[in-house]
Structures are given as structure tokens and as C-alpha cells.
Amino acid sequence: MSNHIETKCIHGNLDFSWDEPTKAVSFPIYQTATFGHIGLGHSTGFDYTREKNPTRQHLEEILTALEGAYDTTAFSSGMAAVTAVFDLFAPGDHMICSEDLYGGVTRLVNTIGKKNGLMVDFVNTGDLDEIKRVLRPETKALYIETPSNPMMEITDLSACAELAKEHNLLMITDNTFLSPYLQNPIALGADIVIHSASKFLCGHNDTIAGFVCSAKEELAAKIRLIAKTTGGCLSPFDSWLVMRGIKTLAVRMERQQENAGNIARWLTEQKKVRKVYYAGLETHPGYEINAKQARGAGAMISFDVDSVETAQRVLEKVRVITFAESLGGTESLITYPMKQTHPDVPKEWREKLGITDTLLRLSVGLEHVDELIADLEQAFVS
């Protein structure tokens, strides 16, 4: 078993439950829908890819090692992973969610969640009193993003885990922004960790995937049953792409985080920037908590500019940075949350959080930091 995350990114815990017989250095893509049986009542352990596939299993074992989980299930997208977790609950159950969430999760809650009878309160999960205020007998779970998308709000995971344990709640944490390289919520008390693996884990903007990492055997069995039943599993080829991406997670996160820190500090000095949201800045209100529970601040920055005209100019004039949705890849991407990631969040709610027509979100990639800064500089003045 490896103790170093760099090794786990490549080999997991070195104790895989199924040994690839050819010893291929690059794990094979088992591109098959079904598997033959040895005899009546005798199986290789693989029957049908929707339920289990060697390539996907290998990837899941690596994520289990990285997150310190009991088990991991890979899904066809981050939203498929979130949906599977929501399927753990019954009509009439109540959940408390971070108020600043990826807009797709908010949309899921306000549409399918409500249709299925799930009751949800959105609060600032960085304030324990706010969580306690909305607790009810029907409350079953606490759903947290930290840092949150896109306002980079920080939640104290250990404190929330204590509260969740006291009230017999499941604690669910989306760890997409920091990845297991920088933060491990299960070690801080989380029961479930969700990833949009399309982002930093895959890291190359070339596939869509999601993970649910379960801390306990009972939860893992429920998630696997949901995946088997609803069929949102990750394909063998996409499993291989994510596996390939994770091999470089450690080195990518180090460089992207270094670039992000330099850009965040530069942005704080620009006249057309009113506010910078980055957990690695000492001026960030969640700086100390993030430093306590994570090994870094990651590569995601949001910043508020002085006018709609400036926002539009930056989006349209960047050249090294790409104006696009998504995040976490080798290429730097700049996003307009109000229009791209959070349009389904009610206007009053967006404005309360600060998701306005002057907010931009930047996913910092691996380009040379001087060229990224020069690109932003020329976009500000073009």
C-alpha cells in the first residue's frame, strides 16, 4: 500500500482486487458490453459492463485510494453522480445545501428533486448557526461545496461533520474544485465525496465523468445498486481517459495552483477589478479554515470587474485563455457564470450571492503564467 499521493495517482494502493493478466503498463480498455461465463453458476466476476468492467474497476480503485474511501463508483457525468446520491433519499426527506452551488445541482434540486418530494434549504454552510436554524426532524443530509462554485466560499468540514454526526445526518461533500490531491473530506468526517471527474481529475477537457466515493460499506452498496439499476455508468474508454489524466494530477495541480496564486495577486492590483475571490489570498474570509483542512487553494479564481462592458471585453478579447464553460483542464478557461453555469438559478438568489453580470470565473491552466497575465492585461485595455 502506498502512502504517497503521487504514487496513488498512478497505481492506487497497489493492492487491486483483480490482477490484469498481461501486465500491460497502460491498463487495457475492455471495450465489451458482456462477458462469457465459465460454466453454469460460474463467472469470472464480470458479467455485464453496466454492472462491472475491468477498466472502470481499475479506475474506481485508484479513486478509492486517493480519497481514502471504502469504495468508489464511476458515473457517466458529475451530474449523474449527484443524481445517484439524491436517489438515496425518499419523498419527504429534507436536505440542507450550501447556498452557493454549481448551477446544475441547483437546477436538479428545483426540478427533479422537488418532483420526487425532496425538501431542500439553501444556507451559508460556513455558518453553523445557519445550518442549525433550518434543521428539522426530516433532515437527512448536509450537502457542501468547499470552495464553492463560483463564489469560493469555504465551509469548515470538521465542524459540519460533528454537527452531522450529532443529528444523524449524511455529510456529502463535492470535492471537484480541490481534487483529492489537495483535500480529503472523508478524513474530515464526510460520508460521501462527489467529483465531476471531467474537471481536474481528467484534466484535459476531453471527456465527461463523475465519481461517488463512499466512506462506509452500507452506503457503497446502495450507490452501486443505484448505478446498476439506473445505468449511468462510465464507459470503458472514458474510464481509461480519466485514468490517464489522473496519472498527472499531482504535477498539474501544483503548477496550476502556483499560476493561480500569482494571477490572483495580480488581479487584486488592477483598477478595473473590484474584488477577487480566491481561497489562497490571506484577505479571503475563509483563508484560515481552508488552510487548516486543505493542502492548498487550488486553481479556481472568481473576480468582479467594474462594469458589464469590462466583463464583455475580457471574455471576447482573451486569446491565450479560452472563453468556455467547464474548468480544471490544462487549458485556461474563463467563464461567465450568470449566463453559462448558473442561468437556472433565480435572479434574486444569484444577486444575493454576488453572481452578477460583472462576475467572471477563471480556471487557471498550465500555460506560462506571464503569458496568462499578459493576455488578461491586454483584454482589460483592448
174 is catalytic: yes
pLDDT > 90? residue 233: yes
pLDDT band at 41 (very low <50, low <70, confident <90, very high): confident
DSSP per residue, 50-108: TT--HHHHHHHHHHHHHHT-SEEEEESSHHHHHHHHHTTS-TT-EEEEESS--HHHHHH
pLDDT by residue (tens digit) across 67-76? 999 999 999 9
Architecture of the domain whose range is 15-246:
3-Layer(aba) Sandwich (3.40)
Catalytic residue among 8, 199, 350, 361: 199
Homologous superfamily in CATH for domain 249-381? Aspartate Aminotransferase, domain 1 (3.90.1150.10)
Cα 106 to Cα 7, 61, 233, 306, 341, distances in angstroms = 36, 30, 22, 28, 10
Binning the chain into helix, strand and coil, the percentages to the nearest 5 are 40, 15, 45
How far from chain centre, in Å, is Cα 90? 24
The average pLDDT across 312-336 equals: 97
The average pLDDT across 10-25 equals: 78
Closest by CA to 126, choosing from 147, 103, 110, 105, is: 147
Write phi, then psi, for 44 (nearest 5 degrees).
-75, -5
What are the strands, taking DSSP E only, across 124-181?
139-145, 170-174
The average pLDDT across 146-153 equals: 97
The domain segmentation of the chain, as residue ranges, is: 15-246, 249-381
102 is catalytic: yes
The average pLDDT across 14-31 equals: 81
For position 346, what pLDDT does the model report?
84
Catalytic residue among 50, 244, 247, 274: 50
For position 345, what pLDDT does the model report?
83
The average pLDDT across 45-49 equals: 93
For position 20, what pLDDT does the model report?
72
Closest by CA to 328, choosing from 220, 227, 202, is: 202
Write phi, then psi, for 121 (nearest 5 degrees).
-115, 135
Cell numbers linked to 64: 478509492
Catalytic residue among 71, 156, 174, 375: 174
The average pLDDT across 75-94 equals: 98
pLDDT band at 159 (very low <50, low <70, confident <90, very high): very high
What are the strands, taking DSSP E only, across the chain?
71-75, 94-98, 119-123, 139-145, 170-174, 192-196, 210-214, 273-277, 300-305, 322-323, 333-335, 359-363
Evaluate whether 95 touches 126 at the Cβ level (below 8 Å): no
Cell numbers 418532483 label which residue?
115
For position 341, what pLDDT does the model report?
84
User: Is the backbone peptide bond immediately before 343 cis, with ω within 30 degrees of 0?
Assistant: no
pLDDT > 90? residue 320: yes
Catalytic residue among 30, 102, 143, 277: 102
Cell numbers linked to 192: 460521501
Prediction pTM value: 0.96
Q: How far apart are CA 297 and CA 315, in angstroms?
A: 24
- Compute the C-alpha angle 66/209/8, nearest 5°: 20
Q: How far apart are CA 336 and CA 323, in angstroms?
A: 8
50 is catalytic: yes
Cα 116 to Cα 86, 93, 167, distances in angstroms = 10, 10, 24
287 is catalytic: no
Evaluate whether 228 touches 73 at the Cβ level (below 8 Å): no
